[in-house]
């Protein structure tokens, strides 16, 4: 759109995503629960394709809209794909909502305190639950050390470092919103990777507790996901950036916290 002098006039951004967009994306996310992308180590269910769609939601719809879409998708997924939601309503929170919350908190500076709190929660789950707290009182054996602590640190130390340093507080948000395509890819990859690391332990450890994991199975789980989490972050980034670029060229009114 241009004025009479030929100057380009930018459309004002919407503060929040339209409810129709949120509902549509939430329904799409819910349907993705039918598609498995990784089996639970030890059996009993699978990680659904819903997880990456939930992680992308805040990038498209803003943080509030993305979280709401993840909630909608989570409840749809719970009903149509019970194998991906063994804990039912609890899994709506853990499998659908938490990835959206984590990525949304990491990508914007204004949510720094939430990103920090989630990172600390992730570290607490990784270090203590369930083998040390509640530990023997709940029938859990002590895990092999230092192997267990080192593997656990792989999931909690990097996001905490990112959040507490200029990497997360300044560089990551700048890169993710950059007009340079390479910088945008790097920023969004770091945001999604950090968000998935924050998500992993609070999502997985309740299963360890409920299913009474032996220490050996806990170690196997940590090893099994070492390559999967960064690979998933890379795949999500490869999908997300072209989608954001297409939206930026679409002429649709931009959502305030959307990265397009």
Residue-wise pLDDT tens digits, 77-112? 999 999 889 889 999 999 999 999 999 999 888 888
pLDDT score for 249: 86
Q: How many domains does the chain have?
A: 1
Alpha carbons within 13 angstroms on the beta-carbon side of residue 44 total 13
| Per-residue b or e along 202-223, where b marks 16 or more CB atoms closer than 10 Å to that residue's CB | bbbbbbbeeeebebeebbebbe
Report yes or no on 56 lying in a domain.
Answer: yes
Report yes or no on 260 lying in a domain.
Answer: no
Q: What's the token pair of residue 13?
A: 């951004």
Q: What's the token pair of residue 2?
A: 């241009």
Report yes or no on 159 lying in a domain.
Answer: yes
Report yes or no on 241 lying in a domain.
Answer: yes
pLDDT score for 4: 42
Q: Which residue has the tokens 């795949």?
A: 235
**CA–CA separation, 109 and 129 (whole Å):** 29
pLDDT score for 182: 86
The secondary structure of 131-176 as a DSSP string is TTTTGGGGTPPPPPTTHHHHHHHHHHHHHHHHHHSHIIIIIHHHHH
pLDDT score for 13: 54
Residue 220 Cα distances to 28, 64, 151, 225, angstroms = 32, 36, 10, 9
Report yes or no on 190 lying in a domain.
Answer: yes
User: Running along the chain, 260 residues long, what does each successive block of 10 average in pLDDT?
Assistant: 42 71 95 89 80 93 93 96 90 95 90 93 94 94 95 95 89 85 90 94 92 93 92 91 86 82
pLDDT score for 38: 84
Range of the domain at 103: 19-248
Report yes or no on 256 lying in a domain.
Answer: no
Residue 73 φ/ψ, nearest 5 degrees? -65, -35
Report yes or no on 233 lying in a domain.
Answer: yes
Residue 216 Cα distances to 6, 177, 195, angstroms = 68, 42, 26
**CA–CA separation, 132 and 226 (whole Å):** 22
Report yes or no on 3 lying in a domain.
Answer: no
């Amino acid at each position: 759109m241009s004025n009479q002098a030929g100057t380009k006039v930018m459309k004002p951004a919407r503060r929040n995503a339209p409810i129709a967009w949120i509902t549509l994306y939430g329904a799409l996310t819910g349907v993705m629960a039918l598609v498995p992308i990784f089996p639970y180590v030890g059996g009993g269910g699978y990680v659904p394709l819903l997880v990456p769609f939930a992680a992308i939601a805040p990038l498209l719809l803003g943080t509030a809209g993305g979280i709401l879409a993840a909630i909608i998708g989570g409840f749809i997924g719970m009903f149509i794909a019970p194998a991906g939601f063994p804990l039912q309503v609890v899994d709506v929170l853990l499998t659908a909502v938490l990835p959206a919350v984590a990525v949304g908190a990491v990508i914007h500076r204004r949510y720094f305190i939430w990103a920090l709190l989630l990172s600390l929660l992730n570290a607490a789950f990784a270090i203590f639950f369930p083998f040390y707290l509640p530990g023997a009182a709940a029938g859990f054996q002590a895990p092999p050390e230092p192997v267990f602590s080192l593997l656990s640190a792989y999931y909690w130390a990097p996001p905490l470092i990112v959040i507490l340093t200029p990497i997360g507080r300044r560089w990551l948000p700048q890169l993710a919103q950059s007009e340079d395509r390479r910088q945008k890819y790097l920023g969004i990859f770091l945001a999604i990777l950090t968000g998935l690391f924050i998500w992993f332990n609070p999502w997985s450890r309740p299963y360890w507790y409920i299913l009474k994991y032996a220490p050996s199975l806990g170690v196997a789980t940590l090893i099994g996901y070492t390559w999967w989490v960064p690979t998933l972050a890379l795949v999500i980034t490869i999908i997300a950036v072209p989608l954001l670029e297409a939206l930026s060229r679409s002429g649709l009114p931009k959502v305030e916290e959307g990265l397009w």
